[in-house]
Structure 1
Amino acid sequence: MKVRTRFAPSPTGYLHIGGARTALFSWLYARKHGGEFVLRVEDTDLARSNAESVNAILEGMSWLGLEYDEGPFYQTQRFDRYKEVVQRLLDEGHAYYCYCTKEELEAMREEQMARKEKPRYDGRCRMRKAPREGVDPVIRFKNPMEGITVVDDMVRGRVTFQNSELDDLIIARSDGTPTYNLTVVVDDWDMGITHVIRGDDHLNNTPRQINILKALGVEPPRYAHLPMILGPDGAKLSKRHGAVSVMQYRDEGYLPEALLNYLVRLGWAHGDQEIFSLDELIELFDIEDVNHSASAINPDKLLWLNQHYLKTLGTDHVARQLSWHMGQRGVDPACNPPLRDVVEAQRERAKTLVEMADNSLYFYREVETYDEKAARKNLTADSAPVLQALHGALGALGQWEDGPIHQAVIDVSERMGLKLGKVAQPLRVAVTGGTVSPPIDQTLRLIGRDRTLKRIENAVQWIETKTVDNA
């Protein structure tokens, strides 16, 4: 039997991290067993589903690198198939028309609650033979009234449900559109899904879906229900805990590899190992090793992982990810210096791509202002002669490389009898606008000879103007 898993989001919002973890676990399980991973869009909620959310889900999957083998399939394109299955259930006596009005159902619910009973449909239309004038009926599945339904869950173990506690759920609305519990059953059946990995908020739906499959004579897939993800405070994850959309993590400068590594550790572990390549995850992951307890997000852990991947992933790969952030800042990443060189210079001192991008703008934009504190300390009347000496030494270099640049700065320092910091720091402020950058030789090399010399000239002119103004 070929393993086939699926990820089936509803396009009523963005791809959040809970959904992304479900997709990741389903993808890993399929890859580990040489199976196939299917993407299905459950868009039958016509009032809430929208194209923007579909695109956000596809974009999130693409950014994470969770490629699917089949799909995306859209439930709205399968309505004829659902109607066919509903009619079969009716014909074979496994479903019936329910003519109860909204008011009658509400009265039923209130009476049950008054008797301290669990509110549920009592099956009063099960034996109705004649239609009811003026009422558009729904169609309900005739759930078994006795016995048990067992879910051999791959995460939670054996979970038993009393059929008497499961009411006759609606499988088609009064307008004929199918409901979730019907469509998901038909889709999993038609698509040959062997393993359903999803959040444990679906666990109570599972016995109902198993009973529908049994009524159709279909062997149910194996189920694995993942525990929820909590906020750092142990409360249910919400927007107040920060970024919950996958693409928001991208916008905040995280690498997809860091987020994947982070998500897989929310509920799964392999000894004390913290960092995994995708190949390692495919080899080591097993859904049965997932903890059945909820996991809390830890933003500090994600930041630590992201910093690790910024330092260790291939330079060209990080540069491609950085390119998007530079474009967001109005920088054409095709301009000099090459982004891969910027990554090499900055990767040891940045925790996110946002930080790397913000700290690299001076490589592409001219310095129009200086940090006030940095200028007050380093761009003074005393530093003007130092900058002029540097301008001459750097301008005379035959090669614009790290070694000769570094030596030229040292030579000026020794010739003027100054500590290296008294030379390098005014130079750094002159060419970057601030006091933080990679080593000064790397910084100047990346900025380029002509722009470096021009920025030194501008800094000297700024000092002279300031000196005149203060006289």
Structure 2
Amino acid sequence: MTVRVRFAPSPTGMFHVGSARSALQNWIYAHQHDGVFVLRIEDTDAARNRPEWTEGIISALDWIGIERGSYEGPYFQSSYAQDHTAAATRLYGEGRAYYCDCTRDAVIARTGNQHTGYDGFCRDRALGPGEGRALRFRTPDEGETIVDDLVRGKPTFENKLIEDFVIARSDGSPLFLLANVVDDMTMRITHVIRAEEHLPNTPKQQLLWEALGATPPVWAHVPVIVNEKRQKLSKRRDKVALEGYRDEGYLAAAMKNYLMLLGWAPSGDREIVPWQVVLDEYRLEEVNHAPAFFDVKKLRAFNGDYIRALAPEEFAAVCAPWLSGTETIPAPPWRPEAFDVDTFTSVAPLAQTRISLLSEIVDYVDFFFLDEPVRDEASWVKAMKGDAAEILDATADAFEALDDWSAEPLKAALERVGLERELKLGKTQAPVRVAVTGRTVGLPLFESLEVLGRERTLRRLRAARAAL
């Protein structure tokens, strides 16, 4: 039997990091078993679907390494509407489903409990299709449904506790439970790997598989992802869009590594591992049952480690979108013609050891490519007080007198300015850094001055002094 897994997102918004993890889990399982990964777009919610969301799903998969052309699909659920209707008709014809005209209020009135499920009132009324009549699956009265789950063992559900659930609306359109099962049968899916939030639906879907004469797939329900308050990640409340992380400057390799650690750990006392290790060692059977905490601070630290591990030419390449701008990444503040590749190449190694997000590269290097630095007002107020004016004057004079415009002589000159005033280098260089770069934090000052050059450095020192 060829293993066939599927990833079946709905094109109703940005790509959730939880969806990215599910896609990777399915992808890895297929890879480990020489199987097939199927992409199915569940696009039957016409009111919420947009074509751009579908392209967004495919683009996000590309980014995390599940590239178009390497999988079956994308298939679209809407293309299989006739199959869904045929399955519903078959279940009704075989007595496995019946029509029901009960409203929610009517059920509550009969049972006296708004929390009670459907009471089976229409089971034996022999209603036919008609306006206001939904089609319900006739759940077995006895026995139990055992779910074969790679993560959770064999959860068991008593059939008598599963209500007769709706599989098609009164207009004939199928609900998710039925459409999902029919699509999986059509696409010969052997393993369904998804979040545990779907587990309550699984016995219902397994009953549908069996009623339609097919062998249910092997299930695997992985733990949900939660925030720091241990609440399930929500699009309304939490930062969950994979595209947002990508455009902020997270590396795909770091994101993939981190997502796979949500509920699982590689061998040894390590977390940052080559992707091949994940491919070799990941086992669904070893996934922890507890909800997995999505720690953005930890992800950011991961990303910084991955950035620092890049070769210099790789770092320069991944920074490129932030140095020029794209459709989703804002253009930098400098004029395009002001950017100089050689200048960036010379300072890139200095920035690489300091940033955790690629988007931070702009604030570290913008003063090289702007006519005047972007002044951070808080930095200016903090640095330009006390004897700042005197320091700027003395520094400009000392720098102008240098024959060797390189980092060490520049540092020595500023140290002398400080010693003459009984100031430590840190205090002496604060107004100089802000005058030249606009900020109190940034690249190593003297290496930066060397690259910036004598003329521009002196001009900025004197402009800052004049502003005081």
Shorter-chain TM range is: 0.7 to 0.9
- Partner in structure 2 of residue 80 of structure 1: 82
Greater shift in the superposed pair: 305-314 or 355-364: 355-364
Residues 1:358 and 2:363 are matched in the alignment: yes
C-alpha displacement at 1:290, in angstroms? 0.5
Query: 1:446 & 1:194 partners in 2: Cα distance?
Result: 60
Asked whether the equivalents of residues 379 and 459 of structure 1 are also in contact (C-alpha less than 8 Å), the reply is no
Residue of 278, 281, 284 corresponding to 2:281: 284
Matches within 5 A, 1:391-406: 391=400, 393=402, 405-406=406-407
- Partner in structure 1 of residue 297 of structure 2: 300
- Partner in structure 1 of residue 223 of structure 2: 227
Asked whether the equivalents of residues 337 and 364 of structure 1 are also in contact (C-alpha less than 8 Å), the reply is no
- Partner in structure 1 of residue 321 of structure 2: 324
Matches within 5 A, 1:9-408: 9-67=9-67, 69-96=71-98, 98-102=99-103, 105-114=104-113, 118-122=116-120, 124-126=122-124, 128=126, 135-238=131-234, 242-271=238-267, 272-326=269-323, 327=325, 328-331=329-332, 335-337=339-341, 341-368=346-373, 370=375, 371-376=380-385, 380-391=389-400, 393=402, 405-408=406-409
Asked whether the equivalents of residues 378 and 426 of structure 1 are also in contact (C-alpha less than 8 Å), the reply is no
Greater shift in the superposed pair: 48-57 or 414-423: 414-423
Residues 1:438 and 2:437 are matched in the alignment: no
Query: 1:20 & 1:120 partners in 2: Cα distance?
Result: 35
**Structure 1 residues 415 and 379, CA gap change in structure 2 (3 angstroms):** closer
Query: 1:369 & 1:356 partners in 2: Cα distance?
Result: 14
C-alpha displacement at 1:266, in angstroms? 1.5
Query: 1:43 & 1:240 partners in 2: Cα distance?
Result: 21
Query: 1:284 & 1:235 partners in 2: Cα distance?
Result: 29
TM-score normalised to structure 2 length: 0.84
Asked whether the equivalents of residues 261 and 276 of structure 1 are also in contact (C-alpha less than 8 Å), the reply is yes
Query: 1:48 & 1:329 partners in 2: Cα distance?
Result: 28
Query: 1:123 & 1:9 partners in 2: Cα distance?
Result: 35
String of CA shifts for 1:239-294, please: whole Å, max 9, x gaps.
68641222232344433322222221211123432112211110110111101121
C-alpha displacement at 1:423, in angstroms? 8.3
Greater shift in the superposed pair: 49-58 or 224-233: 49-58
**Structure 1 residues 121 and 314, CA gap change in structure 2 (3 angstroms):** farther
String of CA shifts for 1:199-247, please: whole Å, max 9, x gaps.
1111121111112212222221110011222221223334686412222
**Structure 1 residues 130 and 278, CA gap change in structure 2 (3 angstroms):** closer
Asked whether the equivalents of residues 80 and 183 of structure 2 are also in contact (C-alpha less than 8 Å), the reply is no
String of CA shifts for 1:301-356, please: whole Å, max 9, x gaps.
22221221121134444444433344245327883135555542212122323333
- Partner in structure 2 of residue 459 of structure 1: 461
1:443 partner letter: S
Greater shift in the superposed pair: 41-50 or 363-372: 363-372
Asked whether the equivalents of residues 407 and 449 of structure 2 are also in contact (C-alpha less than 8 Å), the reply is no
Asked whether the equivalents of residues 347 and 448 of structure 2 are also in contact (C-alpha less than 8 Å), the reply is no
Query: 1:65 & 1:341 partners in 2: Cα distance?
Result: 31
Query: 2:387 & 2:20 partners in 1: Cα distance?
Result: 49
String of CA shifts for 1:158-216, please: whole Å, max 9, x gaps.
11112222233222222222210111111111222221111111112111111221222
Query: 2:393 & 2:449 partners in 1: Cα distance?
Result: 18
- Partner in structure 2 of residue 2 of structure 1: 2
**Structure 1 residues 375 and 32, CA gap change in structure 2 (3 angstroms):** farther
Query: 2:55 & 2:4 partners in 1: Cα distance?
Result: 24
C-alpha displacement at 1:87, in angstroms? 3.1
- Partner in structure 2 of residue 400 of structure 1: none
Query: 1:280 & 1:187 partners in 2: Cα distance?
Result: 33
Asked whether the equivalents of residues 409 and 423 of structure 1 are also in contact (C-alpha less than 8 Å), the reply is no
Asked whether the equivalents of residues 15 and 57 of structure 1 are also in contact (C-alpha less than 8 Å), the reply is yes
Q: Pairwise CA RMSD of aligned residues?
A: 3.3
Asked whether the equivalents of residues 387 and 426 of structure 1 are also in contact (C-alpha less than 8 Å), the reply is no
2:120 partner letter: D
**Structure 1 residues 130 and 178, CA gap change in structure 2 (3 angstroms):** closer
- What is the count of residue pairs matched by the alignment? 449
Greater shift in the superposed pair: 196-205 or 347-356: 347-356
Asked whether the equivalents of residues 39 and 72 of structure 1 are also in contact (C-alpha less than 8 Å), the reply is yes
C-alpha displacement at 1:121, in angstroms? 4.7
1:405 partner letter: S
SS across alignment from 2:406: helix
SS across alignment from 1:152: coil
SS across alignment from 2:154: strand
1:277 partner letter: P
**Structure 1 residues 172 and 246, CA gap change in structure 2 (3 angstroms):** same
SS across alignment from 1:77: helix
1:336 partner letter: D
C-alpha displacement at 1:123, in angstroms? 5.6
**Structure 1 residues 41 and 336, CA gap change in structure 2 (3 angstroms):** same
Query: 2:128 & 2:444 partners in 1: Cα distance?
Result: 86
2:254 partner letter: A
1:362 partner letter: F
